[in-house]
Amino acid sequence: MLAGQLADGRWALAGMWGEAEAVNLALLDSDSGGVADRSELAIATLPCPQGQFPSIALHHAPAHRLERAINDLFGLEPVGAPDDRLWLDHGRWGVHYPLGACTKSTEALQPYVFLGAEGEGLHQIPVGPVHAGIIEPGHFRFTANGETVVRLEERLGYTHKGIDSLMAGAPIDRAAQLAARVSGDSTVAYSIAFARAIEAALGVEIPDRAHWLRALMAELERIANHLGDIGAVCNDAAFALMHAHTSVLRERVLRTSNDCFGHRLMMDKAIPGGVNVDLDARGMEKIRSLLAVIREEFPRLIDLYDETASLQDRTVGTGFLAPALARQYACGGYIGRASGRSFDARRDFAYPPYDSLRFEVPLFKEGDVNARMWVRIREVEQSLGLIDQILTGIPSGAISVAVQPAGRICEGVSLVEGFRGDILCWLRLDPDGTIARCHLRDPSWFQWPLIEAAIEGNIVADFPLCNKSFNCSYSGHDI
Amino acid sequence: MRKLLFESLIKPVLTEPRPDPDQAMLAELAAALGQSARQKLGRSLSIREIDAGSCNGCELEIHALNNPFYDIERFGLRFVASPRHADVLLVTGPVTKNMREALERTYNATPAPKWVVAAGDCAADGGCFAGSYAVAGGVSAVIPVDLHIPGCPPPPEALIRGLMALVENARHGADLTARP
Ligand code: SF4
């Protein structure tokens, strides 16, 4: 029944993860109609006493890789699954089902079988896992007809670090450190997601000022990433000048972050119970002057993007993601919002302080590289406005409260908007406060599969541009 | 666009003064490089970056090396696309078991003499991911390492100091071992 409701779009799948004898699903009420605080998140559990569960992917394709990952890690079998190949497990761990039975694996390495594509004039191009630039590792298998991509198949999992297993049994502060390192570019958003899940589990209310400082850091992180990627996309379209300018602005954001919070990426600054660094008047002044610099420079860069015909030539119409696919995959972030899916956890779940701040969620429908660029351009502007409001309205007072174990088993869940999209954190705590199970779901899980669709019919040479315009996280996906 | 281009000509340069090579790192380096480095290099050093399983935080800071503030090409440091053109492998992350073979292959494809720089706390010993079933350990668990640059992630200054130490040492060879 659940699978049916997913298939007909009543619910969107927001996450799926295993436990020793169960599989959990996070379900998102799929359309808030753009009204604040109207979305709902529900967790459903499928018990698997026989080590099996009915495949959701059979009816709802976005569950594919999640089920394969659950099988790899827990040995829980999705019955009827259309694809039974391993995903995160490349046969190199020395064990099977590390979070389940954890048996020693002794068999020789099996080659990975890519899906076939046969036809006259087709050829395959394997790329990776090590790429030419400074990028994360992953493998791409192109089937091309001359220049044109007929099929792309991704193979991921190279950066799998076993974070879920390191989390199990860890004290809260150690787990927070791991959460901050699931995907370094989103370290603030991950820390907030983890902290909010802990606070939900333990019923902890943190001081208002802590909420506002978290949001300040989250918006700085968003601006830094958007600036970096806007330039990088232009760079991949052979327009290096933009990259030089945005990377200067990005560097200024990182330096200001370092001056104010003591770390360029603000890693480990949002912690369960609040934040561990306060902002003084001097810091606020620095952020104000940063905003002034960005406000002076950024509009001219937007004009530059808008007026450079050779750039538009590359980005308009390239890498089209159909709105129906974005909706089906509950694809978050700028990718979804460039293909007409209006979802932003800051608005739709209105967690503090966003419930008292004014902002818009930019929405485009064209679904191409250009639309993804425009969403990010508009989001930079929105974040600047949010930071203004934060600096004006930030309440005074304490920045953290102590976090005490509950003395019983408790669970918490959170959904937090990182620059790339919504990050889900679900966890269960033991009575002594250690982590029994914690799962962090990166937005990339529902974005990676869509590049395969978006690149079809494009030329192979446009892949870097397309890929950069998605900018999915390898590490966040591979966990 | 013309206005922007013009401004970039008249605006003051953004680049920071060139930092001195870090002495502690030099010591580690000098021992590893020894005499063989003396003849090897002219001014330019080619670097191949390899993410062996990082969280991508280290990559962000390595990227920053190319922004106009640091602009490391002026130090004679260049990122290249192929290991076959590289003098230095700059490796980040704990080496995951799924990346181990790819790292070994890249190392073997790099012509000697070559140096390996392990950037970030994860690359040193696996960092906070050490002990996982999926992690082989730090970079030196898989290939020989000449220099470690600590930090999580190491900020651009630290990366530059480390890489500069490598260049200076490679240029002067054993001369630097005698430095205080
Ligand atoms: S050292 Fe820090 S930033 Fe670098 S890969 Fe490890 S956790 Fe990420």
Q: What is the CATH number of the domain that holds A301?
A: 1.10.645.10
Contact A162 B129 (CB under 8 A): yes
pLDDT tens per residue across span A14-49: 999 999 999 999 999 866 666 777 788 999 999 998
Whether A414 is covered by a domain: the verdict is: yes
Whether A461 is covered by a domain: the verdict is: no
Contact A93 B60 (CB under 8 A): no
What is the number of the ligand 1 atom nearest to the C-alpha of B153?
Answer: 3
Amino acid at A67: E
Q: How far apart are CA A304 and CA A301, in angstroms?
A: 5
Identify the residue among B63, B67, B91 best suited for mutation to test binding to A, counting A beta carbons within 10 A and taking the highest. B67
Cβ atoms of B46 and B88 closer than 8 Å: yes
Q: Is the pLDDT of residue A179 over 70?
A: yes
| Residue B110 Cβ < 6 Å to ligand 1 | no
Residues A145 and A167 in one domain: no
Instruction: State the residue for tokens 């308009």.
Output: A316
Q: Is the pLDDT of residue B3 over 90?
A: no
Q: Is the pLDDT of residue B27 over 90?
A: no
Q: How far apart are CA A161 and CA B125, in angstroms?
A: 14
Q: Which residue's C-alpha comes closest to atom 8 of ligand 1? A: B55
Whether A300 is covered by a domain: the verdict is: yes
| Residue B55 Cβ < 6 Å to ligand 1 | yes
Higher pLDDT, A231 or B8: A231
Q: Is the pLDDT of residue B36 over 70?
A: no
Whether A50 is covered by a domain: the verdict is: yes
Mean pLDDT of A278-297: 97
Min distance A132 CA to chain B CA atoms (Å): 4
Residues 87-126 in B contacting A (C-alpha not used; CB under 8 Å): 93-94, 96-102, 106
Whether A113 is covered by a domain: the verdict is: no
Whether A449 is covered by a domain: the verdict is: no
pLDDT tens per residue across span A412-430: 999 999 999 999 999 999 9
Mean pLDDT of A94-104: 93
Residues A145 and A204 in one domain: no
Residues A42 and A126 in one domain: no
* Interface size, chain A vs chain B, as Cβ–Cβ contacts under 8 Å: 149
Residues A253 and A217 in one domain: yes
Mean pLDDT of A177-195: 98
Residues of B with CB below 8 A from A248's CB?
A: 14, 67-69
What per-residue confidence (pLDDT) applies to B8?
Answer: 58
pLDDT band at A302 (very low <50, low <70, confident <90, very high): very high
Q: What is the CATH number of the domain that holds A87?
A: 3.30.460.80
Whether A356 is covered by a domain: the verdict is: yes
Mean pLDDT of A177-192: 98
Q: Which two tokens stand for residue A72?
A: 């790899």
Q: Compute how many other C-beta atoms are within 10 angstroms of the C-beta atom of residue A289.
A: 11
Q: Which of B49, B79, B96 sits opposite A159 (nearest CB)?
A: B96
Residues 73-102 in A contacting B (C-alpha not used; CB under 8 Å): 90, 92-95, 98, 102
Q: How far apart are CA B93 and CA B101, in angstroms?
A: 15
Residues A196 and A308 in one domain: yes
DSSP state of B144: -
CB of B153 within 8 Å of a chain A CB? The answer is: yes
Residues A129 and A205 in one domain: no
Mean pLDDT of A186-200: 98
Single out the residue of B138, B90, B97 nearest to residue B114, CA to CA.
B90
Task: Provide the ipTM.
Answer: 0.95
Residues A193 and A137 in one domain: no
Q: Which of A162, A183, A475 sits opposite B134 (nearest CB)?
A: A162
Residues A285 and A167 in one domain: yes
What per-residue confidence (pLDDT) applies to A402?
Answer: 96
What per-residue confidence (pLDDT) applies to B17?
Answer: 56
Q: Is the pLDDT of residue B33 over 50?
A: no
Q: Compute how many other C-beta atoms are within 10 angstroms of the C-beta atom of residue B131.
A: 12
Which of B50, B55, B99, B132 gets mutated to test ligand 1 (max ligand atoms within 8 A of its CB)? B55
Residues A99 and A171 in one domain: no
Residues A222 and A303 in one domain: yes
Q: How far apart are CA B101 and CA A465, in angstroms?
A: 28
Residues A128 and A251 in one domain: no
| Residue B156 Cβ < 6 Å to ligand 1 | no
Which of B92, B95, B128 gets mutated to test ligand 1 (max ligand atoms within 8 A of its CB)? B92
- The domain in which residue A45 lies consists of 2-104
Residues A347 and A402 in one domain: yes
Q: Is the pLDDT of residue A97 over 60?
A: yes
Question: Residue A284 belongs to what H/E stretch?
Answer: helix A281-307
Mean pLDDT of B77-92: 91
Q: Which residue's C-alpha comes closest to atom 2 of ligand 1? A: B152
Whether A422 is covered by a domain: the verdict is: yes
Structural domain count, chain A? 3
Residues 299-338 in A contacting B (C-alpha not used; CB under 8 Å): 300, 304, 307-308
Q: Is the pLDDT of residue A226 over 80?
A: yes
Q: Is the pLDDT of residue A8 over 90?
A: no
